[in-house]
Amino acid sequence: MSGREALSLQVSDGVGVLRIAREDKRNALDAAMMDALADLCREIERHENLGVLILTGSGRSFCAGGDIIAWSSESATAFARHWIRDGHEAFDRLARLRQPVIAALNGPVLGGGLELAACADYRIAEEHVRFGQPESALGIIAGWSGTQRAVRRFGAQIVRRMALFGDVLSAEQALQAGLADRVVPQNASLEVARDVAGAILKRGPLATELTKMLINAAEGEERDRVLESLAGRIAAASEEVREGVVAFNEKRPPRFGGKGD
């Protein structure tokens, strides 16, 4: 199965559902899937009719994290250069989508699965779901921002408990700790996520997009890009840019604000 075949995107009525579909591996991610995820995020970002994205897993799993067989076969150099870097690129693109992202957590949220869930803006956990960061038990670290984005979004102490001391949290404990925003019965996460998505779509789409960008900037997620994006939006909507382009095409000096020859 190719990386793209293991990820499916369906869009209906303004809501996209991105599903990890590798059930035989409990939806674990390999290198090809990370490449496909980065490409899909570009597609989602540019999709004019997609206002909210729901992220979930097929079957009884959300995401078992990185495929241990895949990453353990890499050399130390390849692991750092490609596995870690490519994973960061894919997860960063997901976290920085202009659309709000809802994670419908239908199975264990462990390791890379927790890092993936941390990219979402809202997490709906089914009552049987468990949360944790078991990487150090395998002699490895959480390499897809599990010590960075997870700390920014959940707080340092709860990440310490999971990553250093091996705490595994129930859905209710995750709710209390801020890892989950809502706990629902088993098999109900996707339906509830669709309801939440519908409520978001009733809000101003531009205001929602800009608000997410500002929150991300305040959180340190993408401050530089947010500032330049907002400034670029203002400049692109101005009369000045229209005059500048016309003047360029007419091979004359621009007349900004009525000034010029």
Which of 115, 127, 221, 250 is catalytic? The answer is 115
Quote the distance between the C-alpha of residue 25 and its chain's center: 21
**Could you confirm whether 115 is annotated as catalytic?**
yes
Going by the DSSP 8-state scheme, the letter that residue 107 receives in this structure is S
Residue type for position 201: L
Which of 135, 172, 228, 243 is catalytic? The answer is 135
The domain segmentation of the chain, as residue ranges, is 7-201, 205-252
Note the pLDDT tens digit of each residue in 91-100: 999 999 999 9
CATH H-level superfamily of 7-201: 2-enoyl-CoA Hydratase; Chain A, domain 1 (3.90.226.10)
Q: How much is the pLDDT for 67?
A: 73
What is the phi/psi pair of residue 66, to 5°? -75, 140
Note the pLDDT tens digit of each residue in 41-72: 999 999 999 999 999 999 889 998 877 676 66
Q: Is 195 a residue whose pLDDT tops 50?
A: yes
Mean pLDDT of the chain: 89
Note the pLDDT tens digit of each residue in 212-240: 999 999 988 777 777 777 777 787 788 88
Mean pLDDT in residue range 22-34: 88
Q: Which residue in 40, 187, 186 sits closest to 101, CA to CA?
A: 40
Q: Is 1 a residue whose pLDDT tops 50?
A: yes
pTM: 0.88
Mean pLDDT in residue range 23-49: 92
Contacts (Cβ under 8 Å, ≥6 apart) of 197:
14, 15, 51, 52, 54, 100, 102
If one compares 239 and 189, the residue with the highest pLDDT of the two is 189
How sure is the predictor about 189, in pLDDT bands with cuts at 50, 70 and 90? very high
Q: How much is the pLDDT for 249?
A: 87
If one compares 141 and 1, the residue with the highest pLDDT of the two is 141
